[in-house]
Structure 1
């Protein structure tokens, strides 16, 4: 709940609740809420989530809105409600879970290929996303299911229905949202379990950022030689997640983290020759040369050093690092990338 702080004689002594609305209040369709959540769920709304989206609802099909796998291959099913829904919404979601519980690995793979393309390899993509040593065996996928219903915080009937089934031992969660209108601007409030943990956007942070190798082998050299961090196409929005002073680590597929730089105090800029955006950076580690393959700190070593498990199959590899964690990783990266006899040539942190 959002409260306005009110004060008398310069002392804050009163909380005034701010009225809120739901998605239906603005005439928006449920599909529009689904697209908004699907684009933001893993990394923005769930900053520390380790979930791999594998399927999304198709029009006129009896399917849940979003299906995702965790590291163990268990399935999380998201059902979204833009306004008041009640008991029927929960019953519908439970039917989706019951159907999904019967999916074989072949069924799940077929769903993933419908979502990503006919040549998509579910096992390989899952291994890469979670940086596993081995692919999961088909029998290890979809052994457990969980349902999360995202709905208006004002929908008491829906909340009551979810609570009832949770008491019966069903793996179900209610994730509330609210929309506020303040000074002619709209704000979306979302509550991610268990503690709704997010880095403060104003705090300086460390971000592992993909070099786009899957689509363009030269993209990394554009970044390294032009002192920038860039993203392209549908992923270009992620550049806006970076703030001046953040430390960005360039994550090069199949190689590891190849360089780190501090985001400069300049605006987000438009790429001239590609559909993309970029920010200027000042590199804090040696910059690889185009004449050879860049050397990188392996992803598994990055995870071991930071003590964090990252979701690698994204442009931004959540979770974020605190500034102290980022500084420590820069130091470790310099030690790793620079031979001991040339350590004095490392860029200053």
Structure 2
């Protein structure tokens, strides 16, 4: 809940609750809420609870809104409700979970292939996403299902229904959202499990940022030679997720970390397919003429930081704190200079 602080003579006097709304208040559809959640599920809403989205509902199909895998290969099913929905919505979500629990690995793999437009197998993509030493066996995928219902914080009937099934042993949770309209701008409030932990956006953070090798083999040199962090096409939005003062680590697919830099500028748009920010390098800069590209292997990055990153995305969550990022810069400098 958001409260306005009433202040008098420099003293905080009382808290006044601010009115909130849901998606239906603005004439938006559940599909709008679904796309908003799906586009932000990894790097914003669930930045430290890693999930691998593998499928979204199709029109006219009896399916939940979003399906994802966790590190153990368990299926996490999202059902989204833009406005008051009531207990019937939970019954519907339970039916979706029951159906999904009977899906074979082959069926899930086909859904993932369709969703990702990729020929990479589901178990291979899962291994890369969670930086696992070995792929899970197909029989280990979808052994358990967890249901997350996202709805308006004012929907008491929906909350009560979720609580009932949770008390009866069903793996289900309710995640409330609120929409505020302040000074003509809309703000989305969301409560992520397990404790709604989010890093303060104003804090300096460390971000492992992909060089977009799959998009363009030469994109790395655009970044290195022009001192910028850059992204393209559908991934260009991730440039908005780093801010001035953040430390970015350039992650080159199949190699590792090749450089680190501090973000210096606001977002720039050279063309319709590209966004970038200017950076100041904190490590040696790779060169086209340098022969073999030096890189700290991903396994060593995980060992150094003590974290398991979601390698399959442009931005590799979880983020690092400022101190963690500075320590990784120091280790990356040592690694690159001794090679």
So what's the TM-score if we normalise by structure 1?
0.95
Q: 2:274 aligns with which of 273, 276, 279?
A: 276
Counterpart of 1:317 in structure 2 is 316
Contact in 2 for aligned 1:69/1:75 (Cα 8 Å):
yes
Q: CA contact under 8 A between 1:231 and 1:277: conserved in structure 2?
A: yes
- The match for 2:81 is 81
1:195 aligns with 2:195: yes
Find the aligned partners of 1:267 and 1:118 in 2 and give their Cα distance: 33
State the alpha-carbon separation in 2 of the partners of residues 237 and 35 from structure 1.
14
| Alpha-carbon distance in 2 for matches of 1:83, 1:41 | 20
Judge conservation of contact 2:243–2:266 (CA < 8 Å) in 1.
Answer: no
The alpha-carbon distance between structure 1 residues 22 and 9, as it changes in their structure 2 partners (threshold 3 A), is same
Displacement after TM superposition at 1:120 (Å)? 3.7
Contact 2:86 2:155 in 1 (8 A): yes
Cα deviation, residue 271, structure 1: 2.8
What are structure 2's unaligned runs of at least 5 residues? none
* Aligned-residue offset at 1:8: 1.8
What secondary structure, in the 3-state scheme, does the structure 2 residue paired with 1:261 have? strand
Residue 249 of structure 2 is matched in structure 1 by 249
Verify: 1:290 aligned to 2:295, yes or no: no
Residues 162-201 of structure 1 correspond to what in structure 2 (within 5 A)? Answer: 162-201=162-201
Is contact 2:215-2:232 (8 Å) kept? no
Q: SS in structure 2 opposite 1:59?
A: coil
8 Å CA contact 1:208, 1:248 repeated in 2: yes
Q: SS in structure 1 opposite 2:83?
A: coil
The structural deviation recorded for 1:255 is 0.5
The count of corresponding residues between Structure 1 and Structure 2 is: 338
Residue in 2 aligned with 1:335? 334
Instruction: String of CA shifts for 1:77-129, please: whole Å, max 9, x gaps.
Output: 00000000011110011001100110111111111112122624211111111
Q: Tell me the alpha carbon deviations over residues 5-58 of structure 1, each in whole angstroms, 9 at most, x when there is no partner.
A: 001221002000001010011110111111111101111111112110111000
Equivalent residue runs for 1:110-149 within 5 Å? 110-117=110-117, 119-149=119-149
List structure 1 segments (4+ residues) > 2 angstroms apart after TM superposition.
Answer: 117-120
Q: Does residue 55 of the first structure (1) align with residue 55 of the second (2)? A: yes
Give distance in 1, aligned partners of 2:332 and 2:74: 34
| C-alpha contact 2:54 2:112 (8 A) present in aligned 1 | yes
CA distance in 2, matches of 1:133, 1:182: 47
